[in-house]
Structure 1
Amino acid sequence: MRAVRFSAYGPPSVVEVAEVPPPHAGAGEIRIAVRTSAISPGEIRLRSGELRDVVPVRFPFRTGFDAAGVVDEIGAGVSGVSGLSLGDPVFGMAPAATRGANADFAVLAAWAPKPPAWSWAEAGGAAGAVETATRVLDRLAVRAGQTVLIHGAAGGTGSVAVQFATARGARVIGTASAANHDFLRALGAEPTTYGPGLVDRVWALAPSGVDAVFDCAGGALPDLVALAGAPSVVTIADFGAAAHGVHMSHGAPNTPGADPLALHGLPVAVTLASEGRLRIPVAATFPLAEVAAAHELSESRHARGKIVLQH
């Protein structure tokens, strides 16, 4: 089968599509014939070598965390519990330790039924953003009546976090470039721009202050701490978090500070999608063979929503 991998740190050109043996579902897992899978911003940073001292990798490194497709193999202990059948359309996440979802066949460790309202592109980009949004909003204990600032709200994770936070009854202020403000309004957020003057702009929108900050973009922790206080800020993007007393949330296994994965967010996403309250913004789709171009777009950090590979 075809699978995406890289065998050295470097620019997008080091990513290749190679022929590899297909995986098989182990106990508690399923295998899907992949229709779509997502590009992970974290893996962009892995591939570049930026995280070589934080998250060690073994080459060749197989990429891909999110995927959607049809079930074609069911591991021991699954069917009797979930009622899952061969041919069912699902979306989900590959095991964090092995990944490998950017491939013709992928093993999933967590999954949920594909909502009929979602396209295959939306489903392929959903699971990781849903899990991350749930994990961070849970840690921040976001609930109805609160005001939440989401920094980098137009990206793949931020746009999902906006919808999850509003579904909890929170008021959401989101940062993005001016070109994305109408997009944020459509998701239910009140937009403002990032950069110098952020603290004053947020105070103007929320004179009583914000209760929590979800940082999806990085680069603004002093301002975010000034707005909410370090204990009320969680970042997924800024590796300087500790110097500011801020928690950096990640689910990478066997690494310091990893948080438990919030897999309970997947069925919540299905419910919200069925109610018309959750869409997965897709910035662009690429054929699997053009994965290097997809990495280039992700690296630009100008994508509004998820970048998805079509298989």
Structure 2
Amino acid sequence: MNNSAPSPQDKPLITASDIFKAAQRLRQAGLLFPTPLEPLKTLSQDTGAGILLKLENLQRTGSFKLRGAANKLLALQERLDSKPHVVTASAGNHGLGVAYAATHLGITATIVVPLEASPAKVKALKSYPVELIQHGAGYEEAESYARQLERERGLTFVSAYNDLEVIAGQGTLALEVLNELPELTHLLVPAGGGGLLSGVALFAKEVNPAIRVIGVQSEASTALTAAIAAGHLVTTPEYPTLADGLAGGLEAGTVTFDLAQQYVDEMVLVSEESIAGAIRFMVDELHIIAEGSAVVGLAALLSKSWQPEPGAVVCSLITGRNIATEKLLKIMHA
């Protein structure tokens, strides 16, 4: 079943107004809090640009995904006469967002994660009173099984990215950045299915069309980058990546593709080596833990895969911290 709020055909799918409404809804519910901006003094001096990190890895559940999940579940409560039983597929962080929001709202949730999901994320999910199912070799197989459960049990599917209310929730991240940093010129945004990227890009461009939005993916998982380049969804190979939360293909008909095409200025790919380097940078320079998916924008800056012009004001979104201890130690000792 399609649980996105209906949109009149003569209006855009989603606007900045929807993101303002999501921010108000989330604020009233008290399920999350604003996260800080951290200036990078040395990198700013080296580039001649003002570079800041938005530390969304400090958010509850350790990830920005709570924003979209909570906004979706709150919107469902507003529309439905009874509390839904929701089902979702996730590489881990979206599942944590759904689990947290569902627990606090008294909603029953079933969460499907791949068999290879991060042990840190699986362990965290097990701390919530949800039905956790590990199924499939990767995200796409997990999502297919979650869709099967939706049909067989009559559940309400909550997409990690292909949902307008999830996208609106993710877009509140841009609202926070611009409230604190109105002089912003560039946004570096991690991209997987494109929920965060499309929501952030839409809001930033509607507030200030001059802002340039750059989506960043690992070279190991390039579905959205390849689709934008081709002008349509394409099948791309998938390889193991430190950015596991960004891995996987795109659901047919996903709204994020059209939104990204319209609002995103550029896509950049970064190597696994540069992602590892960005994780080390976060620990060594800031004493902050961030996962691979969270630091691809920073990786682009450090590796010079993308370089700002002098005088630019750049914010890179650091989107999560849920990395397994063993993996973090291996990266730090490499």
Bin the TM-score by the shorter chain. 0.3 to 0.5
TM-score of the pair, normalised by structure 2: 0.34
- Greater helix share, structure number: 2
TM-score of the pair, normalised by structure 1: 0.36
- Greater strand share, structure number: 1
